[in-house]
Amino acid sequence: MILIVDSGSTKCDWIAVDNQGKQLREKIRTKGLNPAILSEKKLRKTIKKSKDLVDIKEKVEHVFFYGAGCGTENPRLMLKVVLQEFFINADIAVKEDTMAAVYATIDSRDQAAVVCILGTGSNCSYYDGKILHQRVNSLGYTLMDDASGNYYGKQLIRDYYFNHMPEDIKISFAGKYNMESDFIKYNLYKQPNPNAYLAQFAEFMILNRDSAYIQKLIKEGIRLFAKNMIFQYKEEIKTVPVHFAGSIAFFCKSEIKEVAEEMGFRIGNFERRPIEGLVNFHTDALKK
């Protein structure tokens, strides 16, 4: 049995296939396993909490794990140890989530492209058809992650408290979420996964996209992401498409396309959930 895994900070999808690429059971979902944010103890607890994973753990021979927070060595190695302890009979490969986005969005194995992730967090890399190139070492949601779910959640909360929201939007926002300052600070500073907490507010943005205020908010975030991340590859984007993966990208397609036309880069493919593309990628590899 082979497990193909796509993990963000909020949720983690696990798909089991056999050696011919046939899916063996329904997709398993757990909370996200971001080793840059979660402790080793918390990672273990999250995995062991899944009865479905416990049921199959001794049958698994290979794990291909792609995840947020796996772009630097120490967190990646910590997660690999945790996975190896749980899947005792398996070979474990852990790669950053950007590679999942690459495999899920490119049209062919050797296609060069700039590949962006806009989900709970955000990232951007250049894939030359063989090797992934990353020119910015992400410092996470506190300092970076422009145009991500947690970025937009942060902006919405700030605008609410600084009274920058239109009154009707502000009333609707307060009706959907607990906006008590003590509650917000508790979730940001005393609970695990504050980035995922912030990202949940992005749903409000998506549901209210027709508002001029929300349109401005979305496009400002995308422009900032393009300036700081996509234009790290200003020579490459003259000749290659820019692909996008993640829920924020998927639901903000039209705004991304408008900003791309405005700023002069060519849009490629959108993939909401990279796990489907990952399964196809590894299934094709198994058949060869």
50-54, 65-69, 171-175 — which is least confidently predicted?
A: 65-69
The whole-number average pLDDT for the span 201-217 is 97
Residue 108 lies in a domain: no
Backbone angles phi, psi at 195, to 5 degrees: -65, -40
- pLDDT score for 283: 74
* Three-state SS letters, the chain: CEEEEEECCCEEEEEEECCCCCECCCCEEEECCCCCCCCHHHHHHHHHCCHHHHHHCCCCCEEEEEECCCCCHHHHHHHHHHHHHHCCCCEEEEEEHHHHHHHHHCCCCCCCEEEEEECCCEEEEEECCCCEECCCCCCCCCCCCCCCHHHHHHHHHHHHHCCCCCHHHHHHHHHHCCCCHHHHHHHHHCCCCHHHHHHCCHHHHHHCCCCHHHHHHHHHHHHHHHHHCHHHHCCHHHCCCEEEECHHHHHCHHHHHHHHHHHCCCEEEEECCHHHHHHHHHHHHHHC
Using one digit for the tens of pLDDT, what is the confidence trace for 77-98? Answer: 999 999 999 999 999 999 988 8
Residue 49 lies in a domain: yes
Domain tally, the chain: 1
Residue 131 lies in a domain: no
CA dihedral in degrees (281, 123, 255, 142; nearest 10)?
A: 140
Inter-residue contact 48 to 86 (CB < 8 Å): yes
Percentage of residues of the chain with pLDDT beyond 90: 79
Rounded to the nearest integer, the mean pLDDT of the chain is: 93
- Enumerate residues 6+ apart whose C-beta is below 8 A from 227: none
Backbone angles phi, psi at 133, to 5 degrees: -120, 130
Residue 38 lies in a domain: yes
The angle, 0 to 180 degrees and rounded to 10, between the axes of the packed helices 149-161 and 212-228 is 130
Checking if the pLDDT of 137 tops 70, the result is yes
Residue 161 lies in a domain: no
Using one digit for the tens of pLDDT, what is the confidence trace for 101-120? Answer: 999 899 888 899 999 999 98
In which domain, by residue range, is 59 found? 2-101+274-287
- pLDDT score for 259: 98
Using one digit for the tens of pLDDT, what is the confidence trace for 33-66? Answer: 999 889 999 999 999 999 999 999 999 999 999 9
CATH code for the domain in which residue 69 is found: 3.30.420.40
Task: State pTM to two decimals.
Answer: 0.82
Residue 59 lies in a domain: yes
138-147, 235-244, 252-261, 279-288 — which is least confidently predicted?
A: 279-288
- pLDDT score for 279: 83
Residue 226 lies in a domain: no
Residue 19 lies in a domain: yes
The whole-number average pLDDT for the span 125-154 is 93
- pLDDT score for 288: 60
- pLDDT score for 287: 63
- Specify the higher pLDDT residue, 39 or 275: 39
- pLDDT score for 166: 97
The whole-number average pLDDT for the span 124-130 is 94
